[in-house]
């Protein structure tokens, strides 16, 4: 026979098989006769060929035997154990299908109900029998091995036997098939040995070890079959950081015949471990066949390709269409997937499916896709590296058991009303399993069990974990688990939505979990303890940014290369030894750059999170990819212009939408004035490439909000897609928080002390949640209305229920125009430590507001230019911080005491300043706005290099009441850009002819009247000073372009006002007015913006000049000190 003349043929890429059935009309009469077989090789090839007309095939020691079986079929093998062996291992690796192993020792044929040993796990099977087993028979002894295919299967079976010893190959050497993944396990000190025949001496050999649990060391050398490894050995470590790989150039004598050059491998277990091994030569081996549900590790240089194959089938319905899921998880870098099912290898230009998301690829090919054929289908997956990358690739169908790699996070999606089954290989000496579940969308629930499909009634004690729980991790006792696997099932939540999540499991509890580039990880840490994590940095990495956002409590953040700095140290010593560290209240962030001392590339970094006190937090490490947004949880980013204003800075975020529903991206600006762009096609959206912009340019500068809402009816909307958000700063440092919420988002998770800008539709509720860690202290929830309602309602519960006006434990809903705040004291009988507090905000009219939740041990961040109204209980102290540019414009602190005088201590070195430790103290009388300026000289003095963090300076405030009553006040810091005017709240400011004061005021959708009043301070009224008040839309404009203008003269009372009626043709709805105050000479003044819905606060000693429409009311209020007489 030859390629053009044959009766039967098989020309698949990789292994081939031909089955000639008894009913085949071309078969010789009676089945007897001579069959001629020709094997042709387009490239050099080493292969095993077997022909059999009998029921049993003989296995050769260490030589794999590949077979194909139809559904519900058997193939029987026999294997004779050599005389000196004390252990025999049978390994069955499927290319597709689900073959199981059944073994007998008495020569009888195995059956489903007749066997001495069996292995019936989904996917591959490994079965080891040793001389400690009661049924072991002394060699030479023949074992009968039956392989049963539940579904149509193609598999490789290999038997090895020997006498395992410490670090030796006493268990025999297994022949490896190019492109075929084999699975193995070893106890600490044991070795597993392999050999691979090199077909092309000029082509490199790729070796990939995928780690599932424990740690192994790999040693490789070239030689001949007889001599073993004779070349210089290469070594690598395979730990639970997903795996390792190396590419080797064959080192054999050129005179060696094809197949005579052999790569010898020895894998030695440093700890009890499980792993898989794949070896391939591109010229001969073809793609690596993925085992269903088992991750395959790989590395690629930029522009490189790796190819894999996967066969999807349904054993219960052989002719049905079968969907599959492909998960590509990069440890670093940016790999992309291209898929085909037409037999050809996919390329960037020619493929059937592709997933090129920046930040990991997760592709679901639905059974309803018209490109999916009926019956079993073979897919070819090409992975291309857009940059140097290390990754793990998994393929599985809906009924597959997905294997977890210990300590390595896996991203997956549980469809609405469905579950996904996982398994983790465990050694007999494992006692506990730690499981972490981080929800990206939805509300997934995880169960841990000793058998497959654990659920609400069948999980192990303590083996249930909700993503919404305050516990970021559960530890489950698995001592009594009889099998070598622990099972985990993750189901979508009761909200009826698909759940996208990150799952991580550990058997070695002292092992630091691995962080994946751009993926958030929810965790917790006890007070005074350090939680350790790891991240892998590629060979060409230029930067690593790590951030920890506490949902409750506070943390310090440490970063060092593994084996250096704080790695291995504990307590205060660890903090002092860290190469990089950050210890500021609230969100901590570290940016390590290649130019920094201590930087290393192509290595692992140790990350430490220290609780102070205990904290629940979200940890994120990014190298070059987008931040992955968790549904309803803010993610902060800082854009710092290290290289001067000429170099633009941008931060990118990714949000995946798995359902057909609308969603919003909300950007809260704390510093700077960034632009925001959103795209579903460009991973780095910009002014030159975007699909959506914020719906309004409602502000310019800090304290603002950029909101993008995308609906299913939008032209660019797609479900199952990843949307990218670009936040770009062109000429100034910038700090933001980005929050993504969908129509199905029930709550937004608040970060301790981090204010969020929000909008609310009139007559509806917005819901929030905050986790209160042990030792967190009192909890304060504060709102700052900006437009619409000036009085919002707050309702809080701590029993897991959703609060409302009818059901709550705490509330601030009195019909008064006052600060909106709820404070829950530790002495409150309903106070619950370690609980989740649910918060509801209600507005009568469509409104914009800021919400913040802060514990008494936490610190509230002040966005530049946005005042914050707060209350501090009697005898307590409230802590704040603002981040300023030490080389920028003067920073101005504005205080307005509302109910009692306040005492303020300020510092740039002590996060909790006091009278004994401060840079300055000041007292502000009740009702009198007070201003404190950090001019350029003071900024230089207060912000030396030693206190700067990423080039920025934190100003800390401690505010308390010296009077015998609680204090209510407004506090804000501005620097350079416009200050937000809160309706009814006076602001004190200063301006000069060349330095006008800038403000913004936002209107609600109800179209209220807006009144602006400006009055000079009394000291300036005696001088001949004038000032112009200019109001415009769409930005700050010069005098001749302003839509509204007013003039004040110190000789005529020094006050001016502007009234913008709702029916004014120039007025706007749900927009921002920009206000400029330009004096003829330097002067101080008070400015107030009022809406038609609220009261204006009359500050002591300030004159308000205001207009009121006919038949309307202007409402005012004033605060008095009851102890100060009339």
Q: How far apart are CA 90 and CA 147, in angstroms?
A: 11
Three-state DSSP at 682 gives coil
Q: Which of 875, 919, 867 is nearest to 897 (CA)?
A: 867
Output the pTM of the full model: 0.80
Report yes or no: 1008 and 917 within 8 Å, Cβ to Cβ.
no
Phi, psi of 934 (to 5 degrees): -100, 90
H or E element that contains 1109: none
The token duo for 569 is: 């140290």
The token duo for 396 is: 């599985």
Residue whose entry in the numeric block shows the structure tokens 């909307």: 717
The token duo for 850 is: 């800021």
DSSP code, position 32: -
Positive or negative, the CA dihedral 941, 944, 946, 947 is positive
Evaluate the omega torsion of the peptide bond into residue 140 and state whether it is cis, within 30 degrees of 0. Answer: yes
As a 3-state breakdown, the chain gives helix, strand, coil percent values, each rounded to 5, of 5, 45, 50
Residue 862 CA, distance from chain mean position: 26
The token duo for 515 is: 């962080």
Q: How far apart are CA 886 and CA 896, in angstroms?
A: 25
CA distances from 305 to 202, 249, 516, 984, 1042 (A): 19, 18, 21, 63, 59
Strands 353-355 and 432-441: unpaired
CA torsion 59-64-67-71 (nearest 10°) is 90
Q: Which of 655, 669, 693 is nearest to 358 (CA)?
A: 655
Adjacent-strand bridge partners of 58? 78
Three-state DSSP at 330 gives strand
Q: Output the pLDDT for position 1007.
A: 63
Q: How far apart are CA 1057 and CA 1014, in angstroms?
A: 6
Adjacent-strand bridge partners of 473? 436
The set of residues, in sequence order, having a beta carbon less than 8 Å from that of 861 and lying 6+ positions away, is 586, 587, 670, 753, 754, 755, 852, 880, 881, 882, 883
The set of residues, in sequence order, having a beta carbon less than 8 Å from that of 995 and lying 6+ positions away, is none
Adjacent-strand bridge partners of 329? 392
Q: How far apart are CA 282 and CA 576, in angstroms?
A: 49
The token duo for 559 is: 């970063």
The token duo for 627 is: 């931040």
Residue whose entry in the numeric block shows the structure tokens 């092309």: 200
The overall longest dimension of the chain from CA atoms, in Å, is 123
Report yes or no: 664 and 703 within 8 Å, Cβ to Cβ.
no
Q: How far apart are CA 173 and CA 161, in angstroms?
A: 9
CA distances from 66 to 49, 325, 506 (A): 9, 26, 34
Residue whose entry in the numeric block shows the structure tokens 């212009």: 641
The set of residues, in sequence order, having a beta carbon less than 8 Å from that of 878 and lying 6+ positions away, is 780, 854, 860, 870, 872, 958, 959, 960
CA distance between the termini of the chain: 115
Q: Could you write out the three-class secondary structure of 154-190?
A: EEEEEEEEECCECCECCCCEEECCCCECEEEEECCCC
Q: Which of 272, 279, 211 is nearest to 242 (CA)?
A: 211
Q: How far apart are CA 1085 and CA 1019, in angstroms?
A: 10
Q: How far apart are CA 612 and CA 594, in angstroms?
A: 30
Report yes or no: 929 and 988 within 8 Å, Cβ to Cβ.
yes
Q: Which of 882, 893, 798, 873 is nearest to 840 (CA)?
A: 798
Report yes or no: 202 and 196 within 8 Å, Cβ to Cβ.
no
The token duo for 210 is: 């995928």
| Number of C-beta neighbours around residue 427 at 10 A | 19
Three-state DSSP at 1006 gives coil
Adjacent-strand bridge partners of 943? none
Q: Output the pLDDT for position 1044.
A: 92
| Number of C-beta neighbours around residue 20 at 10 A | 14
Report yes or no: 204 and 248 within 8 Å, Cβ to Cβ.
yes
For the chain, which residues score pLDDT lower than 50?
240, 644-647, 697-702
Phi, psi of 574 (to 5 degrees): -65, -45
Q: Could you write out the three-class secondary structure of 869-917?
A: EEEECCCCEEEEEEEECCCCCCEEEEEEECCCCEEEEEECCCCCCECCE
Evaluate the omega torsion of the peptide bond into residue 1067 and state whether it is cis, within 30 degrees of 0. Answer: no
In angstroms and rounded to an integer, the radius of gyration of the C-alpha atoms of the chain is 34
Length of the chain (residues): 1126
Adjacent-strand bridge partners of 796? 810, 839
Q: How far apart are CA 460 and CA 475, in angstroms?
A: 11
DSSP code, position 469: S
Three-state DSSP at 544 gives strand
H or E element that contains 938: helix 936-942
Q: Output the pLDDT for position 360.
A: 60
The token duo for 78 is: 């026999």
What is the CA angle 507-532-296, rounded to 5?
Answer: 50
Q: How far apart are CA 1090 and CA 800, in angstroms?
A: 39
Percent of the chain at pLDDT > 70 equals: 90
């Amino acid at each position: 026979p030859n390629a053009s003349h044959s009766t039967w043929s098989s020309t698949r890429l990789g292994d081939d098989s031909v089955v000639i059935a008894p009913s085949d009309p071309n078969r010789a009469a009676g089945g007897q006769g001579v069959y001629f077989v020709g094997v042709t090789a387009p490239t050099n090839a080493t292969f095993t060929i077997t022909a059999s007309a009998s029921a049993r095939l003989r296995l050769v020691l260490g030589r794999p035997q590949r077979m194909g079986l139809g559904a519900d079929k058997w193939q029987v093998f026999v294997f004779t154990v050599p005389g000196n062996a004390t252990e025999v291992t049978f390994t069955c690796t499927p290319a597709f299908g689900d073959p199981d192993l059944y073994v007998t020792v008495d020569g009888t044929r195995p059956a489903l109900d007749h066997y001495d040993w069996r292995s019936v796990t989904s996917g591959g099977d490994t079965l080891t029998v040793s001389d400690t087993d009661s049924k072991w028979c002394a060699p030479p002894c023949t074992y009968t091995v039956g392989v049963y295919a539940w579904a149509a299967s193609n598999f490789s079976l290999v038997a090895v036997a020997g006498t395992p010893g410490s670090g030796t190959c006493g268990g025999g050497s297994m022949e490896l098939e190019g492109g075929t993944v084999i699975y193995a396990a070893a106890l600490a000190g044991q070795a597993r040995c392999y050999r691979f025949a090199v077909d092309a001496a000029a082509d490199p050999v790729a070796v990939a070890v995928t780690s599932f649990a424990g740690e192994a060391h790999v040693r490789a050398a070239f030689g001949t079959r007889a001599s073993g490894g004779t070349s210089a050995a290469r070594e690598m470590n395979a730990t639970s950081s997903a795996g390792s790989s190396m590419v080797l150039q064959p080192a054999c004598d050129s005179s060696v015949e094809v197949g005579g050059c052999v790569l010898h491998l020895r894998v030695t277990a440093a700890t009890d471990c499980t792993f898989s091994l794949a070896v391939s030569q591109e010229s001969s081996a073809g793609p690596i066949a993925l085992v269903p549900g088992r991750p395959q590790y790989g590395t690629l240089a930029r522009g490189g390709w790796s190819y894999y194959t996967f066969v999807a089938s349904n054993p219960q319905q052989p002719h049905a269409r079968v969907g599959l899921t492909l998960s590509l998880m990069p440890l670093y870098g940016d790999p992309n997937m291209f898929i085909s099912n037409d037999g050809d290898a996919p390329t960037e230009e020619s493929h059937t499916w592709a997933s090129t998301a920046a930040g990991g690829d997760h592709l679901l090919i639905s059974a309803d896709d018209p490109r999916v054929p009926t019956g079993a289908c073979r897919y070819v997956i090409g992975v291309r590296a857009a940059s140097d990358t290390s990754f793990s690739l998994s393929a599985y169908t809906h009924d597959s058991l997905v294997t977890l790699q210990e300590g390595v996070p896996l991203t997956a999606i549980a469809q609405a009303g469905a579950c996904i089954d996982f398994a983790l290989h465990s050694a007999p000496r494992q006692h506990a399993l730690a499981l972490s579940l981080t929800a990206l969308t939805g509300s997934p629930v995880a169960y841990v069990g000793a058998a497959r499909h654990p659920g609400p009634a069948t999980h192990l004690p303590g083996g249930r974990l909700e993503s919404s729980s305050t516990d970021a991790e559960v530890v489950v006792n698995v001592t009594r688990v009889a099998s070598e696997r622990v099972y985990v099932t993750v189901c979508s939540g009761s909200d009826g939505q698909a759940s996208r999540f990150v799952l991580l499991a550990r058997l070695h509890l002292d092992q630091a979990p691995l962080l994946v580039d751009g993926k958030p990880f929810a965790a917790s840490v006890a007070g005074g303890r350090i939680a350790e994590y790891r991240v892998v940095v590629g060979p060409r990495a230029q930067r690593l940014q790590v951030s920890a956002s506490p949902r409750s409590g506070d943390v310090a953040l440490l970063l060092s290369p593994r084996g250096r700095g704080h790695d291995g140290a504990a307590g205060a010593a660890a903090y002092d030894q860290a190469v990089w560290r950050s210890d500021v209240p609230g969100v901590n962030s570290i940016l390590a750059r290649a130019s920094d001392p201590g930087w290393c590339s192509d290595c692992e970094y140790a990350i430490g999170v220290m609780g102070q006190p205990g904290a629940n937090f979200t940890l994120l490490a990014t190298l070059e990819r987008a931040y992955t947004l968790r549904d309803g949880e803010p993610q902060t980013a800082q854009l710092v212009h290290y290289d001067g204003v000429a170099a633009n800075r941008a931060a990118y975020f990714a949000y995946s939408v798995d359902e057909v529903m609308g969603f919003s991206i909300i950007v809260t600006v704390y510093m700077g004035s960034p632009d925001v762009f959103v795209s579903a096609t460009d991973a780095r959206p910009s002014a030159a490439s975007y699909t959506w912009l914020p719906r309004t340019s409602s502000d310019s500068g800090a304290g603002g909000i950029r909101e993008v809402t995308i609906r299913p009816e939008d032209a660019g909307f797609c479900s199952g897609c990843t949307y990218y958000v670009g936040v770009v700063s062109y000429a100034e440092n910038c700090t933001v928080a980005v929050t993504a919420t969908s129509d199905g988002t029930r709550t937004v998770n608040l970060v301790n002390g981090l204010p969020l800008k929000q909008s609310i539709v009139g007559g509806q509720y917005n819901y929030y949640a905050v986790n209160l860690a042990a030792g967190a202290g009192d909890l304060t929830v504060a709102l700052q209305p900006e437009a619409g309602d000036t009085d919002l309602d707050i309702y809080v519960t701590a029993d897991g229920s959703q609060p409302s006006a009818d059901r709550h434990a705490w509330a601030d809903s009195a019909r008064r125009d006052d600060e909106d705040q709820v404070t829950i004291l530790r002495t409150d009988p309903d106070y619950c430590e370690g609980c989740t507090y649910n918060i509801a905000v209600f507005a009568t009219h469509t409104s914009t507001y800021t919400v913040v939740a802060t514990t008494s041990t936490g610190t509230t961040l002040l966005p530049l230019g946005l005042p914050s109204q707060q209350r501090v209980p009697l005898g307590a102290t409230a802590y704040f911080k603002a981040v300023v540019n030490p080389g920028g414009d003067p920073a101005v602190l504005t205080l307005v005491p509302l109910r009692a005088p306040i005492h303020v201590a300020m510092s740039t070195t002590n996060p909790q300043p006091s009278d004994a430790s401060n840079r300055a103290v000041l007292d502000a009388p009740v009702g009198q706005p007070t201003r404190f300026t950090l001019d350029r000289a003071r900024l230089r003095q207060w912000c030396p290099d030693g206190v700067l963090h990423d080039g920025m300076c934190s100003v800390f405030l401690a505010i308390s009441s010296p009077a015998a009553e609680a204090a209510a006040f407004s506090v804000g810091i501005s620097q350079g850009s416009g200050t937000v005017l809160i309706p009814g709240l006076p602001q004190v400011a200063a301006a000069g002819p060349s330095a006008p004061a800038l403000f913004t005021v936002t209107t609600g959708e109800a179209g209220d009247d807006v009144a602006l009043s400006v009055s000079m301070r009394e000291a300036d009224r005696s001088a001949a000073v004038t000032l112009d008040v200019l109001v415009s839309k769409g930005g700050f404009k010069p005098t001749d372009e302003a839509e509204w203008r007013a003039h004040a003269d110190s000789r005529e009372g020094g006050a001016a006002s502007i009234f913008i009626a709702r029916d004014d043709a120039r007025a706007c709805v749900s927009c921002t007015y920009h206000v400029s105050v330009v004096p003829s000479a330097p002067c101080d003044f008070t400015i107030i913006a009022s809406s038609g819905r609220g009261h204006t606060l009359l500050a002591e000693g300030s004159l308000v000049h205001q207009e009121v429409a006919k038949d309307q009311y202007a409402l005012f209020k004033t605060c008095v000190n009851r102890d100060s007489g009339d």
